[in-house]
Structure 1
Amino acid sequence: MFTYDVAIIGAGAGGLNTAMEAASMGKKVVLVDKYKPGGECTWAGCIPSKALIQLADEIHTAKKYANIEVNGKQIMSKVRQLIKKAHQAEAVEQLQAAGIEYIQGDAKINDQHSIRVVDEIITAENIVIATGSRALIPSIKGIDQVNYLTNENVFQLEDLPKNLIVVGGGPIGVELTQAFQRLGVQVKLVEMADRILFREEKGLAHQLQSTLEEEGVQLYTSAKALEVKQANGTTTLTINRNDVLEHIEAEQILFALGRKPNIENIGLDDLGICYTNKGIEVNEYNETSVRNIYAVGDAVGPYLFSHMAGFQAKQAMRHAFLEMHTPIEQHPAWCTFTHPELARTGMTENEAREKFQDKFNVYTVSYSELDRAVVDQQTTGEAKIICDQDGFIIGASILGERACELLGELQLMKTFHIPFRKLKDTIHPYPSYSEILTQLSNVATE
């Protein structure tokens, strides 16, 4: 007999969702983490970044009508207040109320049915690894001699810097770049690719890039970081851009170059659990190479989002306790929370072309054709739908106001294999941003 039905290592998005899913099934659950519950998303990711973005957006709007003096200390203090408020839903008391036992300590897998927490052995029928990820730090000259920022410490700043170098033009880097720029920080964004958000639709990424530049961001694309130095309160980054060396200076430097899974020193090798440098290998049920041991979230990938961690948690627990032998089909969706937002599910047009050659259709509608966007003065952006020859959605990207919410309807159609033409029979309120979906369906059925 085991003490618990499931023992979970890691109390971030993956671990919390796993614990709640198992508890809802009436299972006896123990959740272990060396820190407070919440993980990366609550303390250094989704929640603080969105708090900063919202404050920045409000100030950016106010600046259009009045001279606004930004108090950096108040801004950063408010961000931390909002983090604490959001954490209340994940407090230990809330977990206990749901029937989940929480243990704070460093955990390691002991064998197929037990984990070790310090000197205590805890047995469980199933084990779930949800250890998350951490910021990826580049191996460039001088990195060990400088004080740098990542998403893990930037929200602990007491005040806003006057200027900032951001290295990395992916979602995290772009979101923070715009937020700090809108708060009055002069931001210099360095990206190795020839554009920001290089995995997204090229045309939409270019539109967003233009917005950043219009707001004053200094952009360095096709640039490779070579060396970083700090002296007398100034950080200097040396880059190679088009075979020309350039030196960029700012008060602070922030690295936003992706994530690295936290899978060291948790017992994977001792049990023969298969993994790569990208994460733990799992099957379609999120079960590892060792039976009854599952892994979810950033420790697995490839989609490093809290909502995907939640999906994987549901997948794992249904398989473990409901004998579910048919996996849920994955339809990942994500959003970059800039202004305008950039949301996506499925393929880009280039990806569709690689797979289907020319056997697909693309439909687009500009936000400038939307009455609500015109009166709101939010006409930057475009919605783009890609359908196969049978009329089913294989990809959708939206750049524009409320893009993340608009994507949900398309995600529903894609997930449940509903022909896109059916959207034409759906009534959307006027004037609303959702009308852009009506316009897309009209274009598709012309």
Structure 2
Amino acid sequence: MKDLVVIGGGVAGLVTASVAGQLGLDVALLERESRLGGDCLHYGCVPSKTLLRSAAVAQLMRRGGDFGLPAHEPAVDLAAVNDRLRSVIDTLQAHDDPERFRSYGVDVRFGAARFVNSGEVRVKGEALRARRFVIATGSRPQVPMIPGLAEAGYLTNETVFGLRELPPRLVVVGAGPVGLELAQAFARLGSRVTVVEAAPEVLPREDARLAAELRGALAREGVRFHLGARLERVDREVDGVTLQLNEGEDHRPVSADRILVATGRVPAVEGLGLEAAGVAHDRRGIAVDARLRTDQHHIYACGDVTGMHPYTHMAEYQAGIVIANAVFRMPKRADYRVVPRVTYTDPELAQVGLTPAEALERHPDARVLEYPFAELDRGIIDGDTDGRIRLVVRRGRILGASILGAHAGELIHEIVVAMQARVRLGTISAAVHAYPTLAQIHRRAANTLYGEQLFRPGTRRVVRWLQRLIP
């Protein structure tokens, strides 16, 4: 009888198993694939950001003239780019070496796990019983049922990083974070990229104004967009594929050499035997309470498989909640009040808390404070003037922030900490921010509110009166 069986060797499962093992519990970690690390390491965050970095360097070479240097059009060898990508994964894979976890006392096994009942799983024909279980199997790409798509062939995030030749024409289906990141990366590396999206705008969850500005930035780099377009079918041709789009009254064919599907993800629950375990789930994922317990309270779930906040940082956070409850037996509840998210395009788009539209709908008296990177000294120095911050405040409290700009994913964390600690806006305004830094944009945005108050007519009258009253 094990103390704990963890199913899934991604971030959530690794964090849970390693802590439990080091605390002396009898732990088994079961992973379907033949390696640990999960989607983030092998198909998601790590390879996509590595590819984006190479693409950013290629774009910077083209921009040499902006910095008084010769511009240069790079000769891109995608095989070499992806060789570097693979080396980055291999370097980070060392942190997820099975022997490392075995040294913590974790019984690492590879093979598909399936519940026999609520207290037992089988892997490769062997039964494992445990007092508690953690399901952390992540998610997989969602592929729409489009006539001809399977026959024509398509890429997902699980296969695109294995390409050895750059597609001359690439169609990306989906304008969410993954779709836009890979669209920009391939466009900068030299593909002619077209994005097809059924929604009327890109990134529908984000601040609509900043999402539109980001779309404009990508369009200036040559990415073409078909928004509000329904993909009706795909036809294989002698020299590639043709996607038949329905754009309202227009029926438009779009030709491509390869198709990349980035239409979202679905929880990976197939084959787990959740029915036998009595664990409730649906297409959105495994249902859990605030302590991340399923309806079988000795079985927990965390990470993408729950369908909530599908980010690596959230999987790590939820693993901590599971450890508190399943290992230390402390009734700790997850708090999703302050969860940042980032789209790692250039410029980046980062969000925490309420968007301006969400805030104004709930609180009509909320204020939206803005400051553009084009008026920030460091933005001008670096030649990164696209975008702005939009800070949502109400009665001195920060309700949310949207940042479109260089290093937005780094900048958002000052607001994350402020919101988590319930810091008032005046504290950010009063804090000394080093010059010249991009982080000054927080103080500048806050000061737009205090500037209005400082320079209004009543304040000016008080100042004149004080000058006469006090010699």
Counterpart of 2:114 in 1: which secondary structure? strand
2:460 maps to what in 1?
none
Counterpart residue type for residue 29 of structure 1: V
Q: Is the 8 A contact 2:324 2:332 kept in 1?
A: no
1:40 aligns with 2:16: no
Q: How does 1:177-188 map to 2 (within 5 A)?
A: 177-188=183-194
1:439 pairs, out of 429, 444, 457, with 444
CA offset digits 1:166-202 (Å, max 9, x no partner):
0000000000000000000110111111221111001
Quote the offset at 1:6 in angstroms.
Answer: 1.3
In structure 2, distance between residues paired with 1:326 and 1:39: 26
**Residue 24 and residue 440 in structure 1: after superposition, are their counterparts in 2 closer, same or farther (change >3 A)?**
farther
| Aligned twin of 1:91 | 97
Deviation at 1:156, TM superposition (A): 0.8
The alpha carbon displacement at 1:325 in A equals 2.1
Percent of pairs with identical residues: 34
Query: Per-residue displacement from partner, 1:387-432 (whole Å, max 9, x unpaired)?
Result: 233x222211111011111111110111122212211222211101
- Select between 113-122 and 152-161 the one with higher mean Cα deviation: 113-122
Instruction: Give the aligned partner of residue 459 of structure 2.
Output: none
Report the more deviating stretch, 358-367 or 373-382: 358-367
**Aligned partners of 2:13 and 2:204: how far apart in 1?**
30
Instruction: Work out which of the residue numbers 235, 243, 247 in structure 2 matches 1:241.
Output: 247
Deviation at 1:112, TM superposition (A): 2.9
Equivalents in 2 of 1:68, 1:239: separation in Å? 33
Distance in 2, matches of 1:236 and 1:293, equals: 47
Amino acid at match of 2:340: A
Do the aligned partners of residues 440 and 20 (structure 1) sit closer, same or farther apart at CA in structure 2, a change above 3 Å counting? farther
Q: Structure 1 stretch 39-48 or stretch 92-101: which is displaced more?
A: 92-101
Counterpart amino acid of residue 325 in structure 2: H
**Does residue 350 in structure 1 map to residue 349 in structure 2?**
no
1:18 is aligned with what amino acid? T
* CA distance in structure 1 between the aligned counterparts of 2:24 and 2:358, rounded to whole angstroms: 43
In 1, the alpha carbon distance for the partners of 2:357 and 2:430 equals: 30
Give the aligned partner of residue 406 of structure 1. 411
CA contact (8 A) 1:112 1:291 kept: no
Q: Is the 8 A contact 1:288 1:294 kept in 2?
A: yes
Q: Please say if residues 421 and 444 of structure 1, whose CA atoms lie closer than 8 Å, have aligned partners that are also in contact.
A: no
Q: Tell me if 1:146 matches 2:145.
A: no
In structure 2, the partner of 1:374 is: 380
1:5 aligns with 2:11: no
Residue deviations 1:83-103 (CA, integer Å, cap 9, x gap): 222211111122223332210
Check 1:69–1:132 CA distance in 2 against 1; reply closer, same or farther (3 A cut). same
Please tell me whether the aligned partners of residues 188 and 217 of structure 1 are also in contact (alpha carbons under 8 angstroms): yes
Deviation of residue 210 (structure 1)?
A: 0.5
CA RMSD in angstroms comes to: 1.4
**Equivalent pair of 2:170/2:259 in contact (CA under 8 Å):** yes
| Aligned equivalent of 2:285 | 279
Distance 1:26 1:366, change over 3 A: farther
CA 1:418–1:324 in 2, change beyond 3 Å: closer, same or farther?
farther
Moved over 6 A (4+): none
Instruction: Give the secondary-structure state (helix, strand or coil) at the position aligned to 2:369.
Output: strand
Name the count of aligned residue pairs.
442
Q: Distance in 2 between matches of 1:178 and 1:149?
A: 16
Change (3 A) 1:70 1:326: closer
Aligned counterpart, 2:48: 49
Q: What residue in structure 2 maps to residue 269 of structure 1?
A: 275
Q: Secondary structure at the match of 2:341?
A: strand
Distance 1:233 1:7 in 2: 50
SS at match of 1:41: helix
Query: Match of 2:48, SS?
Result: helix
Q: Partner residue of 2:311?
A: 305
Greater mean alpha carbon deviation, residues 20-29 or residues 337-346 = 20-29
Aligned AA (2:269): I
Give the C-alpha shift of residue 347 in structure 1: 1.1
Can you list the C-alpha shifts for 1:362-391, whole angstroms capped at 9, x where unaligned? 1111111110000111010111111233x2
SS class of match (1:294): strand
1:359 aligns with 2:362: no
2:67 counterpart residue number: none
Structure 1 counterpart SS, 2:368: strand
**5+ unaligned residues in a row in structure 1: which ranges?**
none
Moved more, 124-133 or 73-82: 73-82
In the aligned structure 2, how far is the partner of 1:426 from the partner of 1:341?
25
Q: Deviations over 1:318-342 (max 9, x none)?
A: 0112232241422211100000111
Task: Give CA-to-partner distance per residue, 1:136-190, whole Å, 9 cap, x none.
Answer: 1111111231211010100011211111000000000000000000000110111
- Aligned partners of 1:423 and 1:437 also within 8 Å: yes
Tell me the SS of whatever aligns to 1:134.
Answer: strand
Q: What is the deviation of 1:359?
A: 2.5
- Letter paired with 1:395: G
Instruction: Give the one of 306, 309, 314 matched to 2:320.
Output: 314
**TM-score, normalization by structure 1:** 0.96
Cα deviations by residue, 1:285-309 (Å, 9 ceiling, x for unpaired): 1110001100011110221111111
Which residue does 1:69 correspond to in 2? 75
Match of 1:22 in 2: 20
User: How far apart are the structure 2 equivalents of 1:246 and 1:434?
Assistant: 45
CA distance in 1 between partners of 2:315 and 2:239 (Å): 40
Q: TM-score, normalised by structure 2?
A: 0.91
The answer to whether the Cα contact below 8 Å between 1:77 and 1:158 also exists between their aligned partners in 2 is: no
Task: Work out which of the residue numbers 265, 269, 289 in structure 2 matches 1:259.
Answer: 265
Aligned to 1:198: 204
Equivalent pair of 1:21/1:313 in contact (CA under 8 Å): no
Q: Return the alpha-carbon distance in structure 2 between the equivalents of residues 260 and 234 of structure 1.
A: 29
Letter in 2 for 1:34: R
Q: Counterpart of 1:323?
A: 329
> Structure 2: how far apart are the matches of 1:218 and 1:291?
49
